[in-house]
Structure 1
Amino acid sequence: MNQSIIKALSLLDLFSDGRQELSLKEITEEAKLPKPTVYRLLASLEYSGFITKTKETENDSRYKLGLKLLELGSLVSEQLELRKIALPHMKKLAGQLNEVVHLVISHQNEAVYIEKVESTRALRLHTRIGKRSPLYLGSGPKLLLAFMEDNRKKLVMEEIIQYRKIEKHSLLEDLQQIKQRGYAISYGEQDVGTVGISFPIYDYQGHVVASLAVSGPTSRFEGQNMDYIKEKTEVTAGNISQELGYKNERNRNLPF
């Protein structure tokens, strides 16, 4: 464990509703750490946006919590609301298909699996809530990249091409196909012998906020069964989007 990170985060715990601003002296005394160490940790937290310096004198400085924590808190709140809304629909879909169902979002240029409903079959996929994946790997992550806002997509793709050595033309072509057909499908990209199929989930503003992904062995994703999986997954993603307030052109004028 990185002790510096642990010590820095422990300083944030010193702030509370009744103590929204603290001096360097107060923080040093309560943290029971040397003043130079506390000053260095606070400087790192300030640089990262977790702490804001409100006043500085020759003898002391004062600090309060930074806006970065509000940003992260809002993100967590949104994720919790999304999971709460999506989970009943995911359970229903898993019951219809008896395949594993995932809810995937993008965060800091990665895909994060924030919810999962398992199948009852003996052969299952070894995935977990909290799993991170590159945005070019798997149907769920790749769909998020395909529907990403253009400026952010450009930055993410530059990083992928530079550090992951992915061929740009091939990736661009794949992403364009995903947007055109409205869903993503992958074969063996994360686990050999498996298929993943994903549909977008939209918020009330029409932004893609998550992908609904169904995965399983290749042998179960063929022919009429594949058509059935696609149909049910698309309907479920639409139902979740509708509950999030999304109205597409077909149902914009229809009551729900």
Structure 2
Amino acid sequence: MNQSIIKALSLLDFFTEEKPELSLKEITDLVQLPKPTVYRLLTSLEYCGFLTKTKDSEYDKRYKLGLKLMELGQLVSDQLELRKIALPHMKRLANEINEVVHLVIVQHHEAVYIEKVESTHALRLFTRIGKRSPLYLGSGPKLLLAFLPEKKRVEIIDESNLYNFNQILLNKDQLKKEIEEIKTNGFAISYGEQDEGTIGVSYPIYNYHGEVIASLAVSGPSYRFEGEHLEVIKESTMKIAESISSEMGYRLISP
């Protein structure tokens, strides 16, 4: 572990409701490290937005918590609210179609699976909450990639070579074509992109700003996703995604 990062982040614990602002000397006394070391750590936290300097003179330097912590706290709060709202709907969907249901979000340049409801089938996919995936593999991640702001989407696709889980180089032009189809169709479907012999179907979840904040993903062995049953899965998943979006404050405005 990086001890400098641990030491720097531990300084944030000294800021409390009773003491929202601290001087360099106060922090140095509390942490019992050399003053130059503490100042270097504080400067790093200030640079990253975790602290804001409220006074800067030769004799007195004072700090308070920065807005970056508020931003991160809001992200955590939003994720907790999303999981709380989505879970009952996900359970209902799993009961209807008896396939594994995932809730997937974007974190930096990756997709993260933050909730899961299992099926009752003996043959199941091995997935877990906290799983990370490239945004270009699988129906859930790929749907999120499609609805990212164009600049970020282009950056992710063009920044480096893209490989599947078998380390085979992907065709970027084909990926861009799939992304446009997802945006046009309003859902994503994938065939064996994360696990051989599986199919994934995903629909977007919107917030009250009309932004896609997650994908509702259903997946299972391909032989269970065929013909009329696939259409039932798509219809049920779409309706549940719409229900979650509605509870998140999204309102579809008809033209």
Same-fold call, TM cutoff 0.5: yes
Which whole-Å deviations, capped at 9, do the CAs of 1:172-228 have from their partners, x for residues lacking one?
A: 101011111111011111122221110011122221111000011112111222111
Counterpart for residue 166 of structure 2 = none
Aligned residue in 2 for 1:122 = 122
In the other structure, the counterpart of 1:233 is 237
2:187 to 180, 183, 194: 183
Q: Which moved more, 1:212-221 or 1:55-64?
A: 55-64
Secondary structure of the residue aligned to 1:93 is: helix
Q: Distance in 1 between matches of 2:188 and 2:5?
A: 38
Q: 1 CA distance for matches of 2:125 and 2:113?
A: 13
Q: Report the number of matched residues.
A: 250
Counterparts in 2 of 1:210 and 1:61: CA distance versus 1, 3 Å: same
AA matched with 1:233: T
Question: How big is the shift at 1:154?
Answer: 2.6
Q: Secondary structure at the match of 1:211?
A: strand
Output aligned runs, 1:1-256, within 5 Å: 1-159=1-159, 161=160, 166-250=170-254
Once residues 117 and 33 of structure 2 are traced to their aligned partners in structure 1, the CA distance between those partners, rounded to angstroms, is: 45
Change (3 A) 1:202 1:194: same
Gap regions ≥5 residues in structure 2: 164-168
What is the SS of the residue equivalent to 1:13? helix
Amino acid at match of 2:214: A
Shift in Å, 1:26 = 0.9
With normalisation by structure 1, the TM-score equals 0.91
Determine the C-alpha separation between the residues in 2 that align with 1:123 and 1:37.
Answer: 56
The runs of 4+ residues in structure 1 deviating greater than 3 Å are: 161-167
CA RMSD of aligned residues (A): 1.7
What amino acid is aligned across from residue 154 of structure 2 in structure 1? K
- Aligned-pair distance for 1:158? 2.9
- In structure 2, the CA distance between the partners of 1:142 and 1:163, relative to structure 1 (3 Å rule), is closer
CA distance in 1, matches of 2:17, 2:158: 42
- The percentage of counterpart residues that share the same residue type is 65
User: Given the two structures, how large is their TM-score scaled by the length of structure 2?
Assistant: 0.92
Separation in structure 1 between the aligned mates of residue 153 and residue 229 of structure 2, nearest angstrom: 33
Q: Is 80-89 or 240-249 further displaced after alignment?
A: 240-249
Q: Distance in 1 between matches of 2:177 and 2:244?
A: 28
Cα distance in 2 for residues equivalent to 1:70 and 1:22: 18
